[in-house]
Chain A
């Protein structure tokens, strides 16, 4: 069959694909390669004088830039704690998977944080944490806890931002799990109930395997979200205090735009890209396997 693709079809396929392919190549594929190329140069981004420096940007990054390591460690924290989103999301989905009156509107409202912009989420949580009037300190003060300023404490700042990020991300995972729960075969549940399974045992042996596509998706989007974290850091702290809440995505932006170090910024982008590429490869192989087995 494949040997005899009608020419007409080949032509049609070509024209149908062309616009998307051009746009994607020009704006996505080619820029990736270009960033790799730029990362081997010293360049201020303003003038035409690009100087080839080989691997020096990477050497500077790894051996001389303490902030790079701060960013790596913070990204790691993001990855670890962001994975609470699927867990919380699952718990919330289990909590909400009922049919009481008003549940539909309640589910929508629970989903709210995901729909609004991260800029607004960042603003909302900046106020929430504010040491002089934030709701958090009002509440803590009520219990006699002294004022804390999470966003200016190098120890807590990253966790405070991650917590803000967990809000929309949990909502996202919750929806994925709610859909997953919806798709579970009710007959299997009934059969298991007759066999006397309930509670956690039921979850572990009957529900969990059936939720695995939802879990897979939730973990993939959460990992990508954690590595892409930029908006919240930019809005809430601009990487501060003294660079302690920076992440790779923000540091790259900062070096390229604030510090005129475009080549250096590109090298950070490449590092971030390579880290992400591991996940992309994993996701792709899984998708393609499903594709093969599913026909």
Chain B
């Protein structure tokens, strides 16, 4: 019976295994928004015109689903040939498991160490390049300039200014800060900035690497600052019910004034009164600490088991070209890592670019810098803290138990 079974299954497997033809690249991406998707399609057309022997098959996924789906593909015997992913611990996890292939040759052959020198280290693990960056973007506070003006609020430079702004806005019956924590990670944006501004980058990265306990006094200080925001009633109600996009209308409709988020929010601002929207850097908390920023890099990788790594390499080299990166980032409204590319003429991007060029150091983002499971438990803890701040001690102890288990 066993043999029969094996034969039957083998036959079926043969029938259904997607025949990997030479010259086809499967490319999976989570850039699902209409504009970047269209731009990517155009770039693929161009690539196929230049390389008539290669066909690129693009599959687009919803961003939240993609994060889990990619693990399945990478571990399978027939993964896609090129995938989008994120730099930092997110990439390192897969590199360490041997699921991404070494593409140092692509960097060398295309002079990328020169052209993308600023992001080279973020794509290296153990001295090997595991992918090519295609976009990065700033995080910071997006706000309604008209609401600030109407209420006589200046752009906050210190944390006290920010708290004061919250109080003024609440008095004017406007929710100071919009946020949707349903998918958790937006809360991590606040944690990152509060921790970076309170304790600095080295401390933050130590925490991310599991070297510093969550019950440490530094972390407690960060949460004490967060508590001040909660005491000033800074956040919109019911934020746990919304995704980040669902919270954007609060700002657009003028019910909320600020939003700490990445630059990917800007396409949601209505073009006809774009002059009422502005951007500012997260204010200073401790003047002795440098200005460190979150600037996540999105990347392309070739899975180790890819069936067509040669053509995938050509595609990767193409995607790293200055002109191509200019085009993708115009559609994404983000910043190109290739230093020969042109930054789009856009006020948000320009201020972001200036801010990042002057930054004292860069972090990727909480869920990209720490272990994925730690990130999940951590972000649940942040969300819980925002709703029930009195549970802080229990939350921190829980996070630390998780840290000890994961990094043991």
**A residues with CB within 8 A of B:** 22, 26, 44-47, 60, 64, 66, 130-131, 147, 149, 151-152, 154, 238, 240-243, 257-261
Contact = CB atoms under 8 A, between A and B. Distances in A.
A258 B384 contact: no
A1 to B, nearest CB: 29
A258 B184 CA distance: 14
B238 A131 contact: yes
B182 interface: yes
A154 B384 CA distance: 9
Given A64-B401, A66-B398, A242-B380, A259 B373 contact: yes
A258 B377 CA distance: 11
A260 B372 CA distance: 9
Contact of B384 (A45, A238, A241, A261): A241
A44 B97 contact: yes
A135 B405 CA distance: 44
Contacts of A261: 373
B265 interface: no
6 contacts: A44-B97, A46-B71, A66-B398, A152-B241, A241-B240, A241-B387
B237 interface: yes
Given A22-B5, A151-B240, 14 more contacts: A26-B5, A44-B97, A45-B75, A46-B71, A46-B97, A47-B98, A149-B238, A238-B182, A240-B383, A241-B182, A241-B384, A242-B381, A242-B387, A243-B380
Contact of A152 (B98, B184, B238, B401): B238
B271 interface: no
B99 interface: yes
A152 B1 contact: no
A27 to B, nearest CB: 11
Nearest to A242: B384
A243 B398 CA distance: 13
A241 B383 contact: yes
Interface in B314-345: none
Contacts of B144: none
- Per CB-CB distance, the 3 closest pairs between chain A and chain B, nearest first, are A152-B240, A149-B238, A242-B384
B156 to A, nearest CB: 27
Interface in B370-408: 372-373, 376, 380-381, 383-384, 387, 398, 401, 405
Contacts of B98: 47
A258 B75 CA distance: 14
B239 interface: yes
B68 interface: yes
B74 interface: yes
Given A46-B71, A242-B381, A242-B387, A258 B240 contact: no
A47 B97 contact: yes
A277 B380 CA distance: 32
Nearest to A47: B97
A152 B373 contact: no
A147 B238 CA distance: 10
Most chain B beta carbons < 10 A, residue from A130, A238, A240: A240
Contact of B376 (A147, A241, A258): A258
Contact of A260 (B237, B239, B373): B373
A243 B380 CA distance: 7
B71 A257 contact: yes
Contacts of B182: 152, 238, 240-241
A283 B183 CA distance: 40
Contact of B68 (A22, A64, A66, A257): A257
B185 to A, nearest CB: 12
A258 B238 CA distance: 25
Contacts of A257: 68, 71
B81 to A, nearest CB: 19
Interface in B57-113: 68, 71, 74-75, 97-99
A242 B387 CA distance: 10
A241 to B, nearest CB: 4
B108 to A, nearest CB: 29
Contacts of B97: 44, 46-47
A123 to B, nearest CB: 14
A60 B406 CA distance: 13
Nearest to B72: A257
Nearest to A243: B380
A149 B239 CA distance: 9
A259 B240 CA distance: 22
Given A22-B1, A47-B97, A259 B372 contact: yes
A26 B405 CA distance: 35
A142 B46 CA distance: 57
Nearest to A149: B238
Contact of B387 (A64, A147, A154): A154
Residue from B1, B380, B401 having most chain A Cβ neighbours under 10 A: B380
Contacts of B384: 241-242
Contacts of B5: 22, 26
A149 B237 contact: yes
Contacts of A238: 182-183
A152 B398 contact: no
A240 B238 CA distance: 13
Nearest to B373: A259
A151 B238 CA distance: 9
B164 to A, nearest CB: 28
Contacts of A45: 71, 75
Nearest to B383: A242
A240 B237 CA distance: 16
Contacts of A152: 182, 238-241, 387
Contacts of A26: 5, 9
Nearest to B249: A132
A154 B385 CA distance: 13
A203 to B, nearest CB: 43
B259 to A, nearest CB: 16
Nearest to B8: A22
Nearest to B379: A242
A177 B242 CA distance: 40
Given A64-B401, A152-B238, A46 B383 contact: no
A111 B376 CA distance: 39
A261 B98 CA distance: 18
Contacts of A259: 372-373, 376
